[in-house]
Amino acid sequence: MTRCVLQLSKYCLSLALRDGNLQDIVNQGSLHEFLASLHGQFGPVASFWFGGRPVVSLGSVDQLRQHINPNRTTDSFETMLKSLLGYQSGMGGGATEAVMRKKLYESAVNNTLEENFPLLLKLVEELVGKWKSFPKDQHTPLCAHLQGLAMKAVTQLALGDRFRNDAEVIGFRKNHEAIWSEIGKGYLDGSMEKSSIRKEHYESALAEMETVLMSVAKDRKGQRSQTAFVDALLQSNLTERQVMEDSMVFTLAGCVITANLCIWAVHFLSTSEEVQEKLHQELEDVLGSEPVSLDKIPQLRYFQQVLNETVRTAKLTPIAAQLQENEGKVDQHIIPKETLVIYALGVVLQDADTWSHPYKFDPDRFTEDSARKSFSLLGFSGNQACPELRFAYTVATVVLSTVVRQLKLHQVKGQVVEARSELVSTPKDDTWITVSRRS
Residue 143 counted as an annotated binding residue: no
Of residues 337, 318, 340, the one with CA closest to residue 51: 340
Alpha carbon dihedral 353, 76, 297, 368, in 10-degree steps, equals: 20
CA atoms within 13 A on the CB side of 427: 23
| pLDDT, tens digit (0-9, with 9 covering 90-100), for 153-205 | 999 999 999 999 999 999 999 999 999 988 876 556 566 777 888 889 999 99
Q: Do the Cβ atoms of 332 and 66 come closer than 8 Å?
A: no
Predicted confidence at residue 11, as pLDDT, reads 40
Q: What is the pLDDT of residues 415-431, one digit of tens each?
A: 999 999 888 999 999 99
Read off the pLDDT of each residue in 116-136 and give the average, rounded to a whole number.
96
Q: Residue 304 region, left (φ>0) first, then alpha (ψ -120 to 50), else beta?
A: alpha
How far from chain centre, in Å, is Cα 24?
26
Tell me if residue 168 falls in helix, strand or coil: helix
How many Å apart are CA 102 and CA 154, to the nearest integer? 19
H-run or E-run covering 31: helix 31-42
CA 204 to chain centre: 24
Q: Which of 103-107, 136-140, 297-301, 355-359 has the lowest mean pLDDT?
A: 103-107
Q: What is the largest CA-CA distance in the chain?
A: 62
**Per-residue pLDDT tens for 267-284?**
999 999 999 999 999 999
Residue 417: how many other CB atoms lie within 10 Å: 19
Contact between 24 and 42 (Cβ < 8 Å): no
> What percent of the chain has a predicted confidence (pLDDT) above 90?
65
SS3 state of residue 435: strand
Q: Which range, 73-87, 206-220, 375-389, has the best average confidence (pLDDT)? A: 206-220
pTM to 2 decimal places: 0.91
